[in-house]
Every structure is written in C-alpha cells, then in structure tokens.
Structure 1
Amino acid sequence: MVLFQGEVNSNEKCIDMGTSNGTLCIALCIRNESCLLALMTDEDCFHCNYGKVSSVTRSGDNSKYIALKMDNGFPTLLKDWWVGLPQLHYFTKAGPCPSGTFHLKTCKDGWEMFRRDTIWYCLKVVYNQNPMNQSVAKLKCSNEQYGAKLSGNVEREMISTDSASKRYDIWIDGERRPLCTSSSNVNKISDCKGINGFEFSDNTLKKHGGYDWSEDEPNGRGDIQNCVVMMITTEVNAKNGKKNGKLDDIGCDALKRGALCGMEAQ
C-alpha cells in the first residue's frame, strides 16, 4: 500500500471502522479484498471499497491520510490516465509524492464492484415481484441499467449471502449448447459434461470456476434443462442446506424471481 496525505471526493459510501489506530486501520484494509483504501484522520478510520469513491486528491493536509492499494491492475481502475501515476506507483521515502487528482471507475448505487482479470465489473442481484423466465430475466437486467446483461458467477459467496433473506432462486448466465440439449449427450459426450455443455454471453469470465453445481448436476433431465439458476434456501436441514448457493440446470421457461445482472464499471 502507498501512504500519502490526501482525501477522497466523499466518504459517504465508506465504512466507519470505529478506530483511531492508524496501523490497525491499514492492516484491516489489507486483509479485506474489497477494500481499496483506508482514509484516516486523528480520530477516525474509514474503509472505502472498490467502486465507492470516484476521485482521490493528493493534498498537503497533514490531518488526513490515505493508504491506497496499488498493484499491476490498478491503472485499469482509472477512468483516465493520470500523469502522476508512475510516481505514485513507484513512490519511495526518498522520492517526491505527486500532487493532483485522479478519477476512478465506479458502480451505480446498489451495485458492487469486482475485478475480473483486467476488467472492473459491477454486479447486482435484482428481483421481480412477478416470477420471470430466463428471457424476461435478461430483459430485466437491460432495463435495470443500460448496458447490463445476465451475468456469470464467480462471486458466489457475495451473491448467495445477499439473496438469503429473500429465498428466491436467481437466474445466471449460461445456456446449453445445441449439441448438448439431449440428456443422453450430456452423459455420453465429454464436450457436453458439466460446464463444457454451456455457452455464455458474459465474456468477462475467462474461467467458470465459480459455477459450483449441486450434487449430480447439471444432468439435462427431460431434454429441457437448458438454462442455469443459483438455488437459494435458508433451510438448515441436511438436504436443502447443501443446495444453498449451488447451481442447477433448469428449463428456460421456469419462473424465478431473481436475476444476476452485470456490466462493466464506468
């Protein structure tokens, strides 16, 4: 992390950590992969997560300090190239700390930011009062935010936790390839087994390790289970407890109330 005097555009969306200990403030941010920076004064510590601040300004105010996470992917988080970035990136005690303001990509209110390789991506689980099939779920995503679409799943823990109180299964990206719509092919052809049998519109996912299937799924039962949902349950019995957050292949005309929507951060 790089430590310098500075401030953010607003700490309204940041988290008050309830400590004035600067060392602890920084350490907790380092341990939290969602934390972009720690904002510190003599009395306060705020953690600002990725996507929650839109600009950072290097200032001479010695009452405000920022500890900022810097890695090789940080430049892709900038909205525009900042001339002070090389200095800040390789800043040492012997070197000058650059002044000025740099602007960061953000997500809209209610969306959470995640890094997928070099892409910063915004995700939101949306719900519909009336249950919807997969086609309607796609439309719901595009209506929710221009440019959004039904998204793939690598951030499973966040999604299942966020959705647990609502207990609604969630449509996610994935449709069975034409060759693999027959349940017999699902079991016989290696290219149709598991995740191999599906194609995806969310091209920000290079790998699909977050597609954690329920036991014996996907099975293509009835030759109609060509779409994908995440199962959400708050029941704690042995059978249903194992299904929470797991994926199932299901008919695309099935009716569900939730959908995982995604779009690139702006």
Structure 2
Amino acid sequence: MIKVFGSIKTDNYIPYVPEEDETCDQHCFDSDYCVLTVNNTVECLELSHVDRNNTYLIERGSSGSKVSFKVTLPDNNCPAFNEINYSLTLPSGEILYWNETESGWEWKQCREGWKKFERSDGNTVCMQTFRVDEGITRNASKTECEEIGAKLTGVASVDESEWIHGKLMESEKVTDWYSFWIDGQRQCDSLGNCVTLPDNNCPAFDTIDWTLTLPSGDIKSWNPTELGWEWKECRDGWKKFERDYGRTVCMQTFRVDEGIKRNDSLTKCNEIGTNLTGLVSEEETNWIYEQLREIGEENSYDSYAYWIVEQMLCPNSCYLTNRDGYSLSSYALEHHDYLKEELEKENCMFVYWTPEPTVERIYVTSCETAQGYVCGYRLK
C-alpha cells in the first residue's frame, strides 16, 4: 500500500467498519477486491477494481486527509518513491495500472478481459471481440454492443487493427473465412452522393483512388491488383517507397549523436528485423537529406551523416556491393563521390550533409563513424 496526503471524489465507496485492532490499510491490503481506502474516522471507505466502468482520481495534497492505494512492489520491498511503477497484479495474474498525472494518480481500467488502447488524441478506448459463428448482421451487432453499455467500435491505429486481426486468426479453423463488424459506414443519400469520398460525391468506380485517411491524418492506400485489392503498409512512422521494378520498401532513419560504426548499424537494423538499406532513387536520397538538414540546422552541426548498406570493395579493382537483398540498382554507384582519395579494402557509404558550403552527397568513406543509419525492409 502507498499512503499519501490527498483526496478523492467519488460516490462509489464501499463502507467497511474495521474490527478491533484492525486498520483500514490492513483490510484493503488483505481484500482482493480493494484498490484504495480512506479512513473516515469510524469506518473505512474502500474502492473496488471489480466495476471497471468507474474512474478514480487521487488529488495529491500536502497535509490533511490521507489516501492509501494498492500497488505491487518488487520483492515486497519499498523502493524510492520515484522508482515505483504503480502497477497492481491481481490474484488472477491480470496487471492493472495507476496512471500518474500532474496532480496525483488516476485509476482508469478496462473491463476484465477487454483490451485497452491509448490513442494519439489522448483518448483511452477499451475493446473486446465477440464471435458469432452462426453469423450476425451489422445492426444486430450494434444492438448487442449497446446492451452491454458499449458501442460498435471504430479502428484508429495499426495496433488496433493488428489486435483485431489476431482475434480473427484465432477463429480461422471455424470456417473458411471469418470477419468482425466495426463502426464506420459510407453515408450516401438517395442520389448516391457519399460524404466520405472527394467533394461529397460518389465517383465512377474506375476513378476511385482507394485511399484511407486515418484520424491521425496519416493516409493509407489499398492497392488494386488483378484479383482485387491489397493492403500493404509500412510499420507506423516508417516511410514507404514504391520502386520502379514493382517492389515496395519501407525505411526509417535512426540518430546516434555520439556516433556509430557501420557494422554496428548493420546489427542494429537486424535486431529489429530489417536491413541497413540501399538507395535506388533521388526521391529516397532526398528524403534522407531532408532529415539530415533538419537535424544539422536545428543543432548547428558542422556535418551529419547516416550509413547506408552499399560498400565499395577494393581488393584489386574496386566494385560496388549491396547486401540488403532488395536494392537492385546502380544508383549509388552513379551518384557517389569520395570523401578522401585513398581507397581501403573495405570502404563504406553514407549519406552526408554539411552547411557551409551546403553539400548533400553520397560519399565513400572509411567504415568508422557516422551519426546514424537508415534501416529498411521490403514489403511482401
């Protein structure tokens, strides 16, 4: 239990009169349902985790009344106050959290078994899927959700979509295909005007661009294929490039201000299931230049560079090698320069920026130090 000066406003207290020589803290600690208690002179006022629809907010104070709330402490020891993670492990094994706020702590939990998602707009959403093997209409799904005090939900992130997909995969042996209703519906009037499409009009089928704008503002695309449509998107925050020879590659840059060797960059990319990437176009290179320029100007750096995968190997005569497995192009060979004249046996490439005079170039250099690296992977 953690005891602090503070107060909590709620009408959901469970009153309990302690027995002789029993404290409110001890009773709450020993009671599986209790997560918080306040000593109200003659009785204990307790709060329960069982009803997950309730939100409790502890307002921290400096004197006066005290509030005791339950957390699970490591090894039954009391760590330094700023090292507490405010988690509570229930007897069932479920882990719940007190969220630290500017003024105290907040208890805001999903119903037992429901999945909690923290959205980019600051809202917390709880979700649960429900299988109906015999089938159910969308309107009936809405009614079922409302009957348990919930709503047929929308989806606002890749994490939410992947969680639902995982639930679908659990049902794959039930039938040849499986699907769950979600909220979201094209609203069209009697004339066929659909407000979710450009200019509030429903265009001809062959003129639809198949894009989806998420609440975050990110734009995703369905790719038409010969057989239908394909959903092929990069990890959240990664940049997607469509290459001339039909491959889709996702890239992300990683800053290492203290410097990193080229081989260590390879390892870092491999650890997250990607490769140190190669480059095949001006578009890809300019995207890296923009990030180098932004970091360099913001921090007044003299120069800044990110490793890419290409190497100029020179055992006898020099030749370019690329080992990411998907950058099948001589672009780097045709657009590189040398940072110094002497070539060693292994010379690495980085994308380089310097402000005075402005230089943005792919350079061949020794494999020692750059200020970051570019990871990539091919979407399959």
TM-score (norm 1): 0.53
User: Which residue of structure 2 lines up, in the alignment, with residue 159 of structure 1?
Assistant: 288
Alpha-carbon distance change, 175 to 157 in structure 1, aligned in 2, over 3 angstroms: same
Cα distance in 1 between the residues matched to 2:195 and 2:246: 34
Letter paired with 2:379: A
Aligned with 1:164: secondary structure?
helix
Q: Judging changes above 3 Å, is the alpha-carbon distance between structure 1 residues 225 and 250 closer, same or farther for their aligned structure 2 residues?
A: farther
Q: Would the alpha carbon gap of residues 128 and 135 (structure 1) be closer, same or farther in structure 2, given more than 3 Å must change?
A: same
Segments of 4+ moved more than 4 angstroms: 57-60, 77-83
Return 5+ residue gaps in structure 1 as ranges: 1-11, 13-52, 71-76, 86-101, 186-191
Report SS of the residue matched to 1:161.
helix
1:176-255 correspondence to structure 2 within 5 Å: 176-177=312-313, 180-181=314-315, 185=317, 192=318, 197-210=319-332, 212-214=335-337, 217=338, 221-224=342-345, 226-233=347-354, 235-237=355-357, 241=358, 243-244=359-360, 246-252=361-367, 254-255=368-369
**Contact 1:224–1:251, Cα closer than 8 Å, also in 2:** no
Aligned-pair CA distance for 1:64: 1.6
Distance 1:176 1:210, change over 3 A: closer
Distance 1:138 1:262 in 2: 11
- 8 Å Cα contact 1:225/1:249 also seen in 2: no
1:138 correspondence with 2:259: no
1:117-136 equivalent positions in 2, closer than 5 A: 117-136=245-264
Q: Please, what TM-score do these two structures have when normalized by structure 2?
A: 0.38
Q: Which of 104, 109, 117 lines up with 2:231 in the alignment? A: 104
In structure 2, distance between residues paired with 1:218 and 1:198: 16
Aligned partners of 1:80, 1:68: CA distance in 2, in Å? 9
CA distance in 2, matches of 1:257, 1:150: 14
Give the Cα–Cα distance (whole angstroms) in 1 for the partners of residues 236 and 249 of structure 2.
14
Q: Aligned equivalents of 1:118 and 1:137: distance in 2?
A: 27
CA–CA separation in structure 2 for the residues paired with 1:251 and 1:220 = 11
Q: Is the 8 A contact 1:220 1:226 kept in 2?
A: no
Q: Which residue identity lines up with residue 264 of structure 1 in the other structure?
A: R
Q: Distance in 1 between matches of 2:343 and 2:234?
A: 40
The alpha carbon displacement at 1:181 in A equals: 3.6
The unaligned stretches of length 5 or more in structure 2 are: 1-119, 121-160, 163-183, 189-193, 199-207, 212-220, 297-303
Give the percent of matched residue pairs that are identical in Structure 1 and Structure 2. Answer: 16
1:261 aligned partner, one-letter code: C
Instruction: Report 1 or 2 for greater relative contact order, CA contacts < 8 Å, sequence distance ≥ 6.
Output: 1
How far apart in 1 are the matches of 2:344 and 2:372?
24
CA separation in 2, counterparts of 1:222 and 1:109? 39
Matches within 5 A, 1:82-97: 85=228
Greater Rg by CA = 2
Alpha-carbon distance in 1 for matches of 2:270, 2:257: 17
Give the drift of 1:128.
Answer: 2.1
**Residue from 147, 166, 171 that aligns with 2:307:** 171
Whole-angstrom distance in 2 between the partners of 1:165 and 1:80: 36
- Matching residue's letter, 2:275: K
**Match for 1:119: what amino acid?**
R
Aligned pair 1:265/2:374, yes or no?
no
